[in-house]
Amino acid sequence: MNPTRRERAILHVDMDAFFVSVELLQRPDLAHRQVIVGRPGERSVVLSASYDCRALGVRSAMPMTTAVRLAPRAVVIEPSQGKYREVSARIMGIFREITPLVQPLSVDEAFLDVTGSMRRLGAPGVIGEHIRDRIRSELSLPASVGAAKNMFVAKIASQRAKPDGLLVIRPEQTVEFLHTLPVSALWGVGRRTAEVLANAGIHSVRDIAQSPLPMLQRMLGAQGKHLYSLAWGRDEREVVTERNEKSIGSEETFAQDERDPSALRVELLRLSHGVAARLRASGKLASSVSLKVRYADFTTVSRSRRLQHPSASAVTLADAATSLFDALWRPGDAIRLIGVRTEQLVSSESVQFSFDRADANWDRAEAAMDRIRDKFQGAGLSPASLLPRESTEREDGT
């Protein structure tokens, strides 16, 4: 391995209970309460849980009914995806001020290659603490950071640093650190693989490292070589800064089957606004829109339509999705899930905008909404048709 590779410095930054932490910014009264983010109902799952709920066994993707049984005193908060994306964009902006080499994995975690930033900002641990301080001071959110010579070890380090901590694994400490861990710490070791290894008397990363490679390959095939390399701290992957998204979409599973076409059209509008905001944030325009409908019997139907002009306007997306929905709808239909997806994405810089004045007006209005949300974190701008019914009734004075 050449000297440059040995000197690589990778950070893995992972926000702590991100959805819960963001919700607590507006609900400080819940700071010392058990909190679960997710939609109430038998069909819903946990999106995030506070650490005291996790201590009771509550986990992300767990059925909400199970989570409430494990943590009956927990406060359940419905998710605010738009708010999470706005905060995520600010976090990623902080990362990109540190280094251009940022690879987001989700809204709340990313890899950063800070090798080129060390001359200006200091050692990896100093940079990691600087990032945590900025996120805490600017956003009032906790973050955990792992620093290591490669992505695999940095990811493990950040998990060991939780909650709200920093762990630096220096290059010369890598093998010693890994060999203290169970086999489940290695990427690719699930329950079945762990059982196969346990049957062979292999329980720790050290055991894998000390096992003959041919034996591991006979037991696990190509995965045996992969795990052997990880056990010795070998991971040559580069931080990938651009992900070419082929589609952007959103869908909603209803707590009860929905039979009201008006309510379904409102839901399509809401989904379209969320998708359009993500398109604009990524600098993309959609050339086509797809509708997904899942009925009560789990039959799933998809339809798509090509747009006259590539667009990131929620109004345009909603019009197309609603038209597709109206062509499918039959009185009496019971719908379990509905979704909107945009496809054939193109860069907004490479497309000449429509000369249609109405299109331009909507584009400007929605872009203005984006700017207001960016400036005033959590600003709840949305079309009047998406406001809660009781709010519109009070405004009408009825």
* Residues designated catalytic: 109
**CA–CA distance, 169 with 104 (Å, rounded to integer):** 21
> What one-character DSSP code corresponds to residue 204?
B
**What's phi and psi for 219, nearest 5 deg?**
-75, -40
Phi and psi at residue 255, to the nearest 5°: -65, -35
DSSP, collapsed to helix, strand or coil, labels residue 61 as coil
Give CA–CA dist 194/198, Å, rounded. Answer: 6
One-letter amino acid identity for 56? Answer: L
Pairing of strands 247-258, 166-168: unpaired
* 301 strand-pairing partners: 293
Neighbour tally for 331: CB within 10 Å: 6
The answer to the question of whether 108 is labelled as a binding residue is: yes
Q: CB-based burial of residue 119 (10 Å sphere; 0-12 exposed, 13-18 middle, 19+ buried)? A: exposed
Q: Which amino acid is at 386?
A: L
Q: At what angle do helices 261-281 and 81-98 cross, to 10 degrees?
A: 10
Distance CA 250, CA 244 (A): 18
Residue by residue, DSSP assigns 208-242 as HHTS-HHHHHHHHTHHHHHHHHHHTT---PPPP--
Question: Cβ(217)–Cβ(227) under 8 Å?
Answer: no
Annotated binding site: 14, 108
Annotated binding site for Mg(2+): 14, 108
